[in-house]
Amino acid sequence: MDNVDLNILRQVVAWRAGGHRVVMGTVTRTWGSAPRPVGSVVAVRDDGAIAGSVSGGCIEDDLIQRTKAQALAATAPQVVRYGVSGDEAARFGLPCGGTLELVLEPLADHSQVEALLDRLVDGQQVRRELTLATGAVALSEPEGADVVVLDEHRLITTHGPNWRLLIVGAGQMTHYLAQMAQALDYQVTVCDPRDEYTPAEPLPGVRYLRDMPDDAVQALRPDAHTAVIALTHDPKLDDLALMEALNSPCFYVGAIGSRVNQAKRKQRLAEHFDIGEATLARLHGPVGIKNGARTPPEIAVSILAELTAVRYGWRIPEPVFLGAGPAGPEAGCQV
């Protein structure tokens, strides 16, 4: 469940607290093109109000009509398919012959949506097992890969952040970067051993460490879904984290600083930590996509734009400055 669907879950909990009946639909299978991936959710309130989407709107309209007619699942989950035939595909806005499969689940206390939301807000990953015959739900810690499994007895879904981001340094920019990264489905950890940078108001769902950066990277056990970004401007801290991250399977390793500082950083890493040229080529710096960003929020946007591109296998070419825009001349140094 990504953060789009997390917001839907918040709406569901609010509706139930207000005394409404709610049916939640989970995408379990698609054939052909689909606007939302497997695992996405949509929710329909008893009066037809809807949160989320699974199509261009036609399927949502059908769910609303069926809800108002009290024709949706009332006591136990049911599996429904849209677009099996060519005519239905056209009716529901799916590609010809395409199919979208949903599990429609009438929510009750045993659905545990409130407990699920609490865990997700806390930044946890959660395995949710729905028994189709009764609607009962069990929550547990996930094991292995993120999965959506539907068989004749149960629906298993995995919720929570699937990507991890370790930020070294707890300064002002970290606040914006961590906050925005959570919206992009990252589980965020901030490491800063300096007393002066302990945040007065920690962000909910963000884990804060006082460890030395190299120890924090090792403890994280980075994998191909992990990014490490150094933001302290202090070589004694940044270099320790980068040394460990560059020798790990991290999909992204970056550090703040100008091009001159980046060249000096690579020289230090090569001389003091014996890191080879091919490994150093993995280091992104200046971190983020060059877009003239000046303020901490703007720089956070540029960093996350680059992370998103790398996640999906895109390389962003060097931007070309076309002249001063409405915000004024190009910034002298972005990050």
Q: What pLDDT, in 10s, does the model give residues 99-156?
A: 789 999 999 999 999 999 998 887 778 899 999 999 999 999 877 666 789 999 999 9
**Strands (DSSP E) along the chain, which ranges?**
22-31, 41-45, 50-51, 78-82, 99-106, 126-131, 137-140, 148-150, 154-159, 163-168, 186-191, 207-209, 226-230, 252-255, 283-284
Q: What is the pLDDT of residue 253?
A: 97
Looking at residues 152-170, what average pLDDT do you find? 91
Looking at residues 6-35, what average pLDDT do you find? 88
Q: What pLDDT, in 10s, does the model give residues 68-97?
A: 887 776 789 999 988 755 566 566 655 555
Q: What is the pLDDT of residue 1?
A: 47
**pLDDT of 5 strictly over 90:** no
Q: What is the pLDDT of residue 332?
A: 47
pLDDT confidence bin for 2, thresholds 50/70/90: low
Q: What is the pLDDT of residue 333?
A: 47
DSSP 188-200: EEEE---GGG--S
Q: What pLDDT, in 10s, does the model give residues 183-205?
A: 888 999 999 999 999 998 899 98
Q: Which amino acid is at 263?
A: A
> Is 228 in contact with 217 (CB distance < 8 Å)?
yes
What are the structural domains of the chain?
A: 3-159 (no CATH), 163-311 (3.40.50.720)
Q: What pLDDT, in 10s, does the model give residues 268-310?
A: 999 999 999 999 999 998 999 988 888 999 999 999 999 999 9
How confident is the prediction for the chain on average, in pLDDT?
87
Q: Which amino acid is at 188?
A: V
Please indicate whether residue 83 or residue 61 has the higher confidence score (pLDDT).
61
Q: What is the pLDDT of residue 146?
A: 65
